[in-house]
Amino acid sequence: MRKVSFPYMGTSYIPFNKLLTALGNEVVLPPRPNAETISLGCKFAPEFACYPFKIVLGTYVQVLEAGADTLVSTGGVGPCRAGLYTTLQEKILKDLGYNFEMITLEPPGRHLKDLITSIKKLINTRLSFKDYINIGRFVWKQLTLLDKAERLSHKVRPLEVKKGETTRTYKKCVDLVSGAQSIKELTEIEREIELLYECIEKKDFDPVKIGIVGEIYVLLEPSANLEIEETLGDLGVYVERSMFLAGYTVSNAVMDLFHMAGERDIKKLASPYFKEMCGGHGRESVGNAVHFAKRGFDGLIQLSPFTCIPEIVAKSILPRVCEERGMGFLAITLDEQTGKEGVKTRLEAFVDMLAAKRKKLKTTTIKPQLVKEMS
């Protein structure tokens, strides 16, 4: 039986674990990135590699040491270097003496045959067509519920009366979803998640609102962005992230399969500033900045790994977008040298500035669309 592992990114390990296990593999769960992960990644990665490359490489060393013999990751197309990362990581790890197989899941629109070949390698048990449907439904439901629980935590955390209650509730929701064994159970858990958040005692005030854009890994993995969303929530800020894994999967896998452009509306919003693809999610960062401004957000934070080329391109445009549309802008570049307290100090200053600006302009009202979304 294959011993399969994969990169750790947010709560995605829960549905991935379920999927790979159901397909007949033994899963070696990757650990949450920690100091050892980063140390290993920095030790073996090229100096020019971006932060996600180093974290993922460090994770691979940890899971190979734990017994994994197969690594699964995604590929990519376009100018972003991430599309070549699995090839480089495989070479580095094999030069270190590890014996394993790297399976890269390429985008279906341009590499459908390769993708099917890769998926077949991961199917190691006999399954009926009905089994595949049931596995797919269950995993997708897990994925969407995890995203829903996280969105609710962003909405409730700035309003909570007892500090930390939202974070505890969120962790409980993740545990509930992780422990579910059937679609019926997940359906019941969905209502339970809503009730858990409704039970949190809340303050009645209008929080500062900040949108977050940037590179996918540092957006979705809290250890890579130093728990920025939790920190902002604790500062009384409503945070909304531009990307969640379920939405990303639809835009970059399902729509790509049918040769349809994902996030068309967001790319259209970016077009006055940025018409060309630059790889990664650089253009989407610009489009989402316009989207947040239209909905009345007070500020925008861009998260990017050090040396991330698509986000460097976006960073040259975002200050103009925010200035023209009346939003504050803060760019945070992340690597292994970035400290949590330093980031927190910058966030506190940014939030104070946005609150002072709002007070000065007496903009105590927010746009109707956002009021409706937060109700």
Q: pLDDT tens-digit profile of 298-339?
A: 999 999 999 888 899 999 999 999 999 999 999 999 999 999
Q: Which helix (H) or strand (E) holds 353?
A: helix 340-361
Give residues with Cβ within 8 angstroms of 313, minimum separation 6: 274, 278, 282
* Spatial distance between the Cα atoms of 129 and 326, rounded to a whole number of angstroms: 53
* Spatial distance between the Cα atoms of 149 and 157, rounded to a whole number of angstroms: 12
Query: What is the model's pLDDT at position 234?
Result: 95
pLDDT higher than threshold 80 for residue 168:
yes
Query: What is the model's pLDDT at position 208?
Result: 96
Largest CA distance in the chain: 66
* Spatial distance between the Cα atoms of 81 and 104, rounded to a whole number of angstroms: 15
* Spatial distance between the Cα atoms of 289 and 269, rounded to a whole number of angstroms: 9
pLDDT higher than threshold 80 for residue 28:
yes
pLDDT band per the 50, 70, 90 thresholds, residue 282: confident
- Residues 96-138: tens digit of each pLDDT: 999 999 999 887 777 788 888 989 999 999 999 999 999 999 9
How far is the CA of 165 from the CAs of 214, 231, 305, in angstroms?
28, 14, 30
User: Per CATH, which fold does 206-374 belong to?
Assistant: Rossmann fold (3.40.50)
The correct answer on CATH 3.40.1580 for the domain covering 3-127 is no
Query: What is the model's pLDDT at position 277?
Result: 74
Overall average pLDDT of the 26-47 stretch: 95
CB 304 within 8 A of CB 269: no
CB 289 within 8 A of CB 327: yes
Please report the DSSP string for 209-237 in residue order.
EEEEEE-HHHHH-TTTTTTHHHHHHHTTE
The DSSP code for 206 is: -
Which residue spans within 99-217 are E strands per DSSP? 101-105, 208-214
